[in-house]
């Protein structure tokens, strides 16, 4: 297929975030939480009880975990290399608070995903982030957050939803979003052009 400009979300697409969090919480707080238990985007409901405080505030105190503990998603580093070799232009597009930026660079320096570009999407005060479609001009987005994929296809571009326990129960994604289950699956999509283009008919756009 024609080379594309591909936007990759970082956490839980390239970097094994939930698995890393579970491992540290289990080790440090004697819990036994597995990634499959984290079945909702609001992770706190599964781990706050063990940490004894809001997990996001705890993570702010432990931002070094990105650089020193979290590992790549299986297949991601080699997968990125193969996509680049196939001529695609690769951009990581990640929403990060400023307190996580230094650790993010440490992680990138350690694992060296062969991307062309990094875009940090700032968090908006009071919650939420700038839409990824406003932060990147990529042709296609790969993300594990349902809302990010949804927002991207409303903007007229296709997306791949990386299946994770927190989005698995949400069923069939909107037109323009294809579910992928692994990096092998992502590579298959690009090799075989299994991309689905959004339907921008007015009736759908209003939903």
Q: Under 8 Å CB-to-CB from 183, ≥6 apart: which residues?
A: 73, 74, 75, 76, 78, 79
Stretch that binds Mg ion, among 26-34, 76-84, 141-149, 185-193 (CB under 5 A): 141-149
Name the one residue in this structure whose structure tokens are 């005060």: 125
Question: Considering the rule CB under 5 A, would residue 12 count as an interface residue with Mg ion?
Answer: yes
Question: Considering the rule CB under 5 A, would residue 23 count as an interface residue with Mg ion?
Answer: no
Q: How near is the Cβ of 204 to Mg ion at its closest, in Å?
A: 25
Question: Considering the rule CB under 5 A, would residue 11 count as an interface residue with Mg ion?
Answer: yes
Q: How near is the Cβ of 146 to Mg ion at its closest, in Å?
A: 11
Question: Considering the rule CB under 5 A, would residue 144 count as an interface residue with Mg ion?
Answer: yes
Question: Considering the rule CB under 5 A, would residue 16 count as an interface residue with Mg ion?
Answer: no
Stretch that binds Mg ion, among 40-48, 106-114, 143-151, 187-195 (CB under 5 A): 143-151
Nearest 5°: phi and psi at 189?
A: -60, -45
* 63-to-4, 67, 71, 83, 102 alpha-carbon distances in Å: 33, 8, 14, 29, 9
Residue closer to Mg ion by CB (options 87, 128) is 128
| Contact residues for Mg ion, defined by CB under 5 A | 9, 11-12, 144
């Amino acid at each position: 297929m024609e080379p594309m400009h591909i936007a990759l979300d970082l956490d839980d697409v390239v970097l094994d975030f939930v698995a890393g969090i579970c491992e540290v919480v289990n080790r440090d707080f004697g819990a036994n939480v597995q990634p499959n238990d984290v079945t909702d985007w609001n992770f706190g409901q599964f781990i706050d009880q063990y940490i004894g405080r809001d997990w996001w505030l705890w993570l702010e105190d432990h931002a070094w975990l990105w650089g020193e503990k979290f590992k790549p998603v299986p297949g991601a580093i080699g997968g990125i290399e193969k996509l680049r070799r196939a001529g695609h232009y690769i951009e990581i597009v990640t929403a990060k608070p400023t307190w996580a930026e230094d650790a993010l660079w440490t992680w990138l320096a350690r694992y060296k995903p062969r991307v062309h570009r990094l875009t940090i999407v700032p968090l908006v005060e009071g919650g939420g982030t700038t839409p990824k479609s406003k932060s990147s001009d990529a042709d296609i987005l790969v993300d594990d957050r349902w809302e990010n994929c949804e927002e991207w296809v409303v903007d007229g571009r296709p997306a791949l939803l990386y299946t994770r326990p927190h989005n698995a129960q949400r069923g069939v994604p909107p037109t323009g979003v294809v579910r992928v289950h692994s990096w092998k699956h992502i590579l298959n999509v690009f090799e075989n052009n299994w991309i689905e283009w959004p339907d921008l008919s007015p009736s759908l756009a209003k939903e």
